């Protein structure tokens, strides 16, 4: 059996051949139809077994649709650029995701422009034959379920009769895969790309305010920093550890993986196991619409990811050819931008549709941007314009990499694949393997290759001025080829850093990442010496969540965390990662309360006098955790999130790279007045919400399912929670509900490799199905709320003997 894809075995396809593959409706490893067995176990987790790749894809597409039809059908509209046709142009996207919630019209233009047919075909052409069969089967399985749902034989009453619930093609899956690639780059600038127009073009909603403003002098105060869903300071993130066998006491390394991800929408995770006897046996999660396991484990390796601090994109300032705002100068020659007229059908209130056309442009670097949305002086004028380059817009190896990992036979093979492909798009990786004593960390993927000399000589004046708003993003002069991203001798992709210069660490104690840079992978072995684009290395304070994450490990090894012994066994890890410690409270609560509780009342500017005595009493009694039964944690959250005090004015001891876990520390007495104002305002919000100051966490933080509240625990990373359950809903609007735009612990796994088997405990915190009528709409969420890990079956005997085991054969 070939355990992984060798480079020489990748068979490139012409675009015509790709088109033929994508058009195929029945090809499936030589059989006459698709077939798979879907075995469901506790929490509804599907274990899909098929005799070939197209059958595995068929079963997986069917299972995902059976559980999440409404979300998936909605998302396929997004990737095809058809939202406006069915749902109107002014409405915003229903779900939050890596593209945020833009208007349907902007979303449609963005996706038709960026997910153009040449890009989608290139993604398909870069994949091995088995991947193409998997994708074709997935589309067929999804369509089989749509047909059944339309016939009224299944659930999903909210959407099954809607006109926008449509069959898909393999091309839709490739689009969805390309879109996943772009979460760390283009997706963060959707409105800028969708509204990029040269001077004189028809006015569009969201474009620069006026031509006069576009050419005004640059004023830094006018700059609006982009909201980066992935790669932002407070964007979505994750925690993960790998513990070497020397510290677990179990003869096996242990992996903990925990992406803090969306609880709803197209980017939420779906848990499943895919088995093709003799070829594939992998369990874990994918994004909806993707047929490959992205985080998970097989018989030999387990891995997880966290969002990386490495910047995956950059900008080019273009000097335009005089008299032609759609041509630019490069090395003294004029280069014409490629123009693409795009027409979107837009449904109006009467149900009729009208056509809206925009002509959008690409340069050799990538799509043009309307940078006036960030600063009016950066509009597309007659003399300058701006283009964006996303390294993952040219990276078609990502899913090939994950497919090879799905089949990897050892940690050594896993690491070799990561170096060979250098493809992981915008995340760090931690992995452990059977029989391997060490744990692996790497930020090895597609990262722009810009030299310090280029940063010094190619960064434009505007680039220097925008550095604070978009740190670490190269903002170069596009008129000189000398400013093109470079290639190393071992670069796998043009303009990307070679694997030899990317951070990695193999340790027999532990590796971990909580969304700070590679620098703090191990608190006792800080990494340095990598290109600056990977993130800060000892120049910035670690986040409170990162500090707590490493402190928890140090406490474990010292035996001071209240758990037995000093080893990081699977059982202990499962407890400590759910303990809901609040690092800001552990470090600063006593000092803060001495400052803000010195009087029972606080005069709050523009709000009047606030009685804080009950709040102070609750916080003094609070146990500094966010467990469901903890009392008063919400008051601390409101206070800590509300303080508007720069670190230089807040902390008495500044950050010291020689002591990153203990600095900055101690509150400055001079911050007392500002903290009192923040505390008084926070208490007023809690009073107005109707919640008692000593209310239990689970009363305030919960998930609402079919009219029933499921008490939860944890909180947001900015407050210093390690256990992340972060609600965007204000406390005054019904409490911290995890519906809507919330994110947090999502797919959690603790995996080890005892002799002869795999031991995996998991949560899918938001449950498997989006359908309120499904028995799996809330069951996993209730288990998570009760901290009851699922020992997920993996072997055949575990699956077939599982409580609640049921099996369904699906065929086409």
Active-site annotation, residues: 238
Burial 663-680 (b: 16+ CB within 10 A, else e): bbbebbeebbebbbbbbb
Distance CA 190, CA 101 (A): 10
Which of the 8 DSSP states describes residue 94?
A: S
Which of the 8 DSSP states describes residue 52?
A: S
The number of residues making up the chain comes to 812
Distance CA 557, CA 634 (A): 31
CA 672, 675, 681, 685 dihedral sign is negative
Give the residue from 149, 125, 137, 169 showing the smallest Cα distance to 54: 137
60, 47 Cβ separation under 8 angstroms: no
Give the residue from 287, 265, 405, 250 showing the smallest Cα distance to 750: 250
For the record, the structure tokens of 563 come out as: 């758990």
SS (H, E, C) 315-326: EEEEEEECCEEE
Number of helices followed by number of strands (H, E) in the chain:
24, 33
Question: In 3-state terms, what secondary structure has residue 251?
Answer: coil
What ranges make up the beta strands (E) of 549-689? 601-604, 608-611, 651-653, 665-667
Distance CA 60, CA 49 (A): 9
Which of the 8 DSSP states describes residue 610?
A: E
Query: Chain-centre distance of CA 681, in angstroms?
Result: 32
Within the chain, what is the greatest distance between any pair of CA atoms?
Answer: 80
519, 527 Cβ separation under 8 angstroms: yes
Question: In 3-state terms, what secondary structure has residue 494?
Answer: coil
Question: In 3-state terms, what secondary structure has residue 510?
Answer: strand
For the record, the structure tokens of 273 come out as: 């196991």
Q: What share of the chain is helix, strand, coil (3-state, %, to 5)?
A: 35, 25, 40
CA angle 477, 478, 480 (to 5 degrees): 85
Give the residue from 120, 173, 119, 191 showing the smallest Cα distance to 366: 119
Other C-beta atoms closer than 10 Å to the C-beta of 209 total 11
Residue showing tokens 């220097």? 464
Task: Establish whether the linkage from the previous residue to 439 is cis, with ω within 30° of 0.
Answer: no
Distance CA 30, CA 634 (A): 59
Distance CA 700, CA 712 (A): 9
Helix ranges restricted to H, 334-492: 398-407, 411-421, 452-458, 461-466
Distance CA 300, CA 297 (A): 7
Distance CA 769, CA 775 (A): 8
Distance CA 588, CA 48 (A): 50
Burial 396-422 (b: 16+ CB within 10 A, else e): bbbbbbbbbbbbbbebebbbebbbbbb
Give the residue from 644, 512, 520, 543 showing the smallest Cα distance to 234: 543
Other C-beta atoms closer than 10 Å to the C-beta of 651 total 19
């Amino acid at each position: 059996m070939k355990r992984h894809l060798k480079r020489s075995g990748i068979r490139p396809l012409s675009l015509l051949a790709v088109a033929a593959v994508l058009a195929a409706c029945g090809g499936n490893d030589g059989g006459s139809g698709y077939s798979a067995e879907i075995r469901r176990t506790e929490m509804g987790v599907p274990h899909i077994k098929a005799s070939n790749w197209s059958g595995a894809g068929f079963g997986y597409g069917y299972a995902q649709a059976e559980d999440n039809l409404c979300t998936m059908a909605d998302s396929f509209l997004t990737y095809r650029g058809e939202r406006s046709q069915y749902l109107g142009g002014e409405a915003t996207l229903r779900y939050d995701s890596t593209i945020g919630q833009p208007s349907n019209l902007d979303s449609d233009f963005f996706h038709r422009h960026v997910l153009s047919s040449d890009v989608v075909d290139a993604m398909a052409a870069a994949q091995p034959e088995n991947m193409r069969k998997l994708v074709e089967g997935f589309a067929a399985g999804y369509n089989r379920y749509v047909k059944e749902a339309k016939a009224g034989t299944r659930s999903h009453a909210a959407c099954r009769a809607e006109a926008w619930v449509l069959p898909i093609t393999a091309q839709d899956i490739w689009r969805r895969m390309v879109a996943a690639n772009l979460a760390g780059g283009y997706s963060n600038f959707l409105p800028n790309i969708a509204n990029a127009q040269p001077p004189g073009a028809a006015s569009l909603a969201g474009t620069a305010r006026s031509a006069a403003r576009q050419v005004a002098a640059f004023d830094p105060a006018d700059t609006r920093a982009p909201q980066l869903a992935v790669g932002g300071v407070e964007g979505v993130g994750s925690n993960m550890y790998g513990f070497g066998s020397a510290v677990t006491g179990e003869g096996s390394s242990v992996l903990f993986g925990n992406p803090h991800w969306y609880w709803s929408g197209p980017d939420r995770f779906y848990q499943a196991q895919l088995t093709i006897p003799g070829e594939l046996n992998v369990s874990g999660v994918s994004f909806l619409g993707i047929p490959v396991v992205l985080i998970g484990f097989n018989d030999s390796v387990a891995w997880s990811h966290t969002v990386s601090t490495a910047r995956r994109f950059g900008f080019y300032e273009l000097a335009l050819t005089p008299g032609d705002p759609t041509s630019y100068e490069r090395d003294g020659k004029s280069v014409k931008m490629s123009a693409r007229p795009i027409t979107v059908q837009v449904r109006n209130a009467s149900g009729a549709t009208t056509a809206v056309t925009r002509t959008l442009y690409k340069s050799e670097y990538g799509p043009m941007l309307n940078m006036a949305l960030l600063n009016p002086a950066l509009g597309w004028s007659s003399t300058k314009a701006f283009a964006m380059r996303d390294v993952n817009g040219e990276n078609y190896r990502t899913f090939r990499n994950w497919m090879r990992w799905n089949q990897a036979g050892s940690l050594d093979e896993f690491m070799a694949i990561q170096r060979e492909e250098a493809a992981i798009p915008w995340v760090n990786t931690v992995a452990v393997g059977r029989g391997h004593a060490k744990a692996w960390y790497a930020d090895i993927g597609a990262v722009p290759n810009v030299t310090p000399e280029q940063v010094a000589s190619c960064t434009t004046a505007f680039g220097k001025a925008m550095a604070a708003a978009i740190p670490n993003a190269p903002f170069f002069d596009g008129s000189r080829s000398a400013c093109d991203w470079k290639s190393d001798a071992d670069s796998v992709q043009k303009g990307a850093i070679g694997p030899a210069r990317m951070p990695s660490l193999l340790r027999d104690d532990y590796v971990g990442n909580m969304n700070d840079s590679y620098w703090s992978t191990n608190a006792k072995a800080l990494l340095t010496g990598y290109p600056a684009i990977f993130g800060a290395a000892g120049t910035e304070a670690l986040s409170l969540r990162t500090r707590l994450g490493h402190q928890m490990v140090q406490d474990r090894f010292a035996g001071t965390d209240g758990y037995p012994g000093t080893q990081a066994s699977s059982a202990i890890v499962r407890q400590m990662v759910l303990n809901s410690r609040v690092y800001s409270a552990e470090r600063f609560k006593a000092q803060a309360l001495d400052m803000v509780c010195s009087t029972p009342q606080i005069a709050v500017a523009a709000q009047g006098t606030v009685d804080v005595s009950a709040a102070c009493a609750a916080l003094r009694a609070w146990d500094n955790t966010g467990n469901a039964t903890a009392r008063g944690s919400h008051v601390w959250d409101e206070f800590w999130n509300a303080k508007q005090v720069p670190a230089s004015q807040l902390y008495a001891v500044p950050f010291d790279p020689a002591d990153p876990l203990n600095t900055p520390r101690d509150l400055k007495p001079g911050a007392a007045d500002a903290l009192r104002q923040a505390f008084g305002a926070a208490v007023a919000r809690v009073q107005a919400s109707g919640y008692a100051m000593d209310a239990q966490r689970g009363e305030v933080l919960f998930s609402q399912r079919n009219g029933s509240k499921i008490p939860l625990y944890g909180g947001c990373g900015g407050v210093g929670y390690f256990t992340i359950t972060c609600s965007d809903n204000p406390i005054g609007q019904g409490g911290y509900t995890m519906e809507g735009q919330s994110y947090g612990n999502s797919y959690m796994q603790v995996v080890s490799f005892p002799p002869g088997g795999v031991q995996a405990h998991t949560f899918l915190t938001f449950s498997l199905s989006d359908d309120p009528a499904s028995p799996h709409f809330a069951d996993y969420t209730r288990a998570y709320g009760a901290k009851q890990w699922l020992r997920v079956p993996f072997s055949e005997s575990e699956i077939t003997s599982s409580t609640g085991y049921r099996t369904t054969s699906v065929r086409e």
